[in-house]
Homo-oligomer: A and B are copies of this chain.
Amino acid sequence: MPRMVRVALDAMGGESAPRVPVRAAREAVAQDQDLRVLLVGRRDDLEEILEEDDATRRRLEIVSASQTVAMDESPVRAVRRKPDSSIVVGLRLQREEEADAFVSAGSTGAIMAASHLVLGPLPGVDRPAVAAVFPTASSPVLVLDVGATVGARPGHLHQFAHLGAIYFRDLMGAEDPRVGLLNVGEEAEKGGDVVQETHRLLAADPGLRFVGNVEGDRIIEGDCDVLVSDGFAGNVLLKFYESVAGLIAELAGEDSAPRRQPGMKRILEVLDYTKHGGAPLLGVDGVSVVCHGASPSRAVRNALGLAARCVRSGMVRDLARDLNELAIRTVGEQGGT
């Protein structure tokens, strides 16, 4: 039996807030009897939308936050200047143990900055990573980082490999996930200095099932389960993939004959990122799930479900243990040379 999970949801985040987050919360608690959602935002706005006679109402709670962070605000400054923003208040609930996880479709930069500030980094983690699921024809591939850390050093990418492997194991049920390194060629000496040194670190690590370099055309072929990348290339790839899905859907036409074809439906399902909903920020001491600003309620609902699964799996505890071991091993090796 899954235990009761309390997820704080940024009710003011995303392009259609608070309407979309509230609908997503209602749908999520209807699906999961052991989920409570704390809607964080302006009480008046939220009370107006919530219907008292709704069967799910008793597992939805409003937590007041008077401020909101705009999408175009400087993230770090916004987080510092707006201590009563829905993002900061929502994350603080977790630190104060009134919530187990946080979900937001607001400014990704602000969510990352506030998560770092409020939850703090996990011991042994120097940089956080956002992990995104890339749907493929077979099993999905977890790509990290997709935008939290641009200009990652080999040591950071080594930590990403561990963050991704533990997350994949705990959330996607593969005992010993295959870890690949995004590169421009298969051979160990391909790419620049950073990826070459990262290749060396990953290949020498007995705690990882490293399958080597993975080129751009091998990602959706499923050559690995976890793909390690700098935040620059990962971000560009993720956004590009989303836009290709959009183009295909557009060309197929809304509710058109080709769209209803079985083959076509499968394609759109494979490419439809809204199904996957949220991307976890890994490396912070808690659960923080980031959604696309344009997320429909289905995506936010799925992100709430993902946040609950993160909590139930004990992912943060497992990450802390694994990264701590990596830090001890790395220090030991450096001391021995």
Contact = CB atoms under 8 A, between A and B. Distances in A.
A243 interface: yes
A150 B184 contact: yes
B258 A240 contact: no
A26 B257 CA distance: 40
Interface stretch (A46-54, A214-222, A311-319): A214-222
Interface stretch (A84-92, A204-212, A229-237, A324-332): A229-237
Please classify the interface of chain A as helix (H, G, I), strand (E, B), loop, or mixed, using the class held by over half of its residues: helix
Given A184-B150, A240-B241, A244-B241, A264 B266 contact: no
Nearest to A136: B247
A263 interface: yes
A244 B220 contact: yes
Contacts of A136: 247
Given A151-B192, A217-B240, A232-B184, A263 B267 contact: no
A253 B270 CA distance: 15
A137 B250 contact: yes
Given A263-B253, A264-B264, A217 B239 contact: yes
A180 interface: no
25 contacts: A136-B247, A137-B250, A137-B251, A184-B232, A184-B235, A192-B232, A216-B237, A216-B239, A216-B241, A218-B239, A219-B240, A220-B240, A221-B243, A233-B233, A237-B240, A240-B241, A247-B270, A251-B267, A252-B264, A253-B263, A256-B263, A257-B263, A258-B262, A261-B261, A263-B264
Interface of A: 136-137, 147, 150-151, 182, 184, 191-193, 195, 215-221, 231-233, 235-244, 246-248, 250-253, 256-259, 261-264, 266-267, 270
